[in-house]
Amino acid sequence: TIAAATGLVVHSANVMAALCRFLRDRETLLVLGNCEHMVEAMGPCVAQLLEETPGVRVVTTSRAPLRLTSELVHRLPGLATPPVSTDLTARDALTFPAIELFVERATDRLESFSLSDADAPAVADICRNLDGIALAIELAAMRIDVFGVRGLQKQLDDRFRALGERRAGLERHRTLAATLDWSYGLLPAREAALLRVVSVFAGVFSLDDAA
């Protein structure tokens, strides 16, 4: 995959050796996204690239570090959410990125949606429950037309109650997994079946491919 992204056509069985030769005299930035499921395989590949190609730099996005000697880990926190407060107003809530994202996506789904002072504490609670994770907030907000703010808050409270304190720190990916599971569980049976079928595609696909 890395070789293909760089434009290298490999005719050798030793892909890594060919890739290192190709990049050895080049100034190159490689961006490897969402590679936590390939950490064990990716680590040695990146280590070899960095050792044999002095002009190459690598940026990875992952829930787990590659554990290389020269690796610098920068942990990204979730979007900021308001502290717990029953006096939170809509105006104050919208100064926080998590609330702003929720309202944007909820409005995309339901044009009549407007954050009220009465609902601001509940929306803040939803975003805190989701640890400020952007994708989780978007998934939840897109159900605003089905449940409304209070119903959505209860749905997520029920879903996450079992996670308890395990959701903190490095375990925050549990929140996203639970949100995906909850969102999938709300699909009608035929839509769930369709999603399972097209899940084999890693990117864009055509109607003919899906058929």
Convert the pLDDT of each residue in 122-154 to its tens digit. 999 999 989 899 989 999 999 999 999 999 999
Q: How far apart are CA 129 and CA 207, in angstroms?
A: 37
Q: Is it the case that residue 112 has pLDDT exceeding 70?
A: yes
- Look at residues 143, 142, 139 and name the one whose alpha carbon lies nearest to residue 151: 143
Confirm if 65 and 36 have CB atoms less than 8 A apart: no
Lowest mean pLDDT among 31-35, 46-50, 78-82, 192-196: 31-35
Q: How far apart are CA 103 and CA 120, in angstroms?
A: 10
Q: How far apart are CA 74 and CA 206, in angstroms?
A: 37
Convert the pLDDT of each residue in 33-55 to its tens digit. 878 778 888 899 999 999 999 99
Q: Is it the case that residue 89 has pLDDT exceeding 90?
A: yes
Convert the pLDDT of each residue in 146-177 to its tens digit. 999 999 999 888 777 654 544 444 456 677 77
**pLDDT recorded at residue 62:** 84
Enter the tokens of residue 132: 């400020």
DSSP 3-state assignment of 22? Answer: helix
Confirm if 56 and 82 have CB atoms less than 8 A apart: no
- Look at residues 151, 148, 150, 156 and name the one whose alpha carbon lies nearest to residue 185: 156
**pLDDT recorded at residue 173:** 65
**pLDDT recorded at residue 165:** 46
Confirm if 60 and 30 have CB atoms less than 8 A apart: no
- Look at residues 145, 124, 114, 42 and name the one whose alpha carbon lies nearest to residue 80: 124
**pLDDT recorded at residue 172:** 61
As a whole number, mean pLDDT of residues 187-200 equals 91
- Look at residues 170, 77, 93 and name the one whose alpha carbon lies nearest to residue 132: 77
**pLDDT recorded at residue 161:** 65
| In the chain, beta strands by DSSP E | 28-32, 56-60
Contacts for 74 with CB less than 8 Å, ≥ 6 apart: none
Per the document, the length of the chain is: 211
Q: What is the mean pLDDT of the chain?
A: 87
